[in-house]
Amino acid sequence: MFYSSSEIHHVVIGPLEPSTYYYYQCGGEGPEFSFKTPPSQLPITFAAVGDLGQTGWTSSTLDHIDKCEYDVHLLPGDLSYADDRQHLWDSFGELVQPLARARPWMVNEGNHEK
């Protein structure tokens, strides 16, 4: 009941050019991040993992994905297993930030996203 999360920033950007690096800062301050847009033509490579959760296996899975060459990350649900525990959404965001800030993620809702 007394939970206070970090700020959440939302912005709509575009149109973006394919195969282009873009640089940004969240809230206009702090570290600068970058991401690369997918190519406009096939092939487009995907990394796909579901039921990511927040365990020791999560870190090793993310490390493995980080070493791969891919354009878009597909996450078909059950991201953080936070359910209704808001602080776990924050820790999940911190866990995936190194990958999520650099490439597009397409995420689908699973049965643990409330």
In which domain, by residue range, is 60 found? 41-107
Q: Is residue 65 assigned to a domain?
A: yes
Q: Is residue 55 assigned to a domain?
A: yes
Q: Is residue 1 assigned to a domain?
A: no
Predicted confidence (pLDDT) at residue 39 exceeds the cutoff of 90: yes
Q: Is residue 45 assigned to a domain?
A: yes
Mean pLDDT of 89-112: 86
Cβ 76 vs Cβ 43: under 8 Å: no
Q: Is residue 47 assigned to a domain?
A: yes
Q: Is residue 66 assigned to a domain?
A: yes
| Cβ neighbours for 33, distance < 8 A, ≥ 6 positions apart | 23, 24, 25, 26, 101, 102
Lowest mean pLDDT segment, chosen from 15-19, 38-42, 100-104? 100-104
Residue 28 falls in which region: left (phi positive, over 0), alpha (psi -120 to 50) or beta: left
The domain total for the chain is 1
Cβ 75 vs Cβ 109: under 8 Å: no
Shortest CA distance to 24 belongs to which of 34, 11, 38? 34
Quickly state the pLDDT bin for 2 (edges 50, 70, 90).
Answer: low
Q: What is the pLDDT of residues 55-92, one digit of tens each?
A: 889 989 999 999 999 999 998 888 888 877 888 888 88
Mean pLDDT of 19-38: 88
> What pTM was computed for the model?
0.74
Q: Is residue 33 assigned to a domain?
A: no
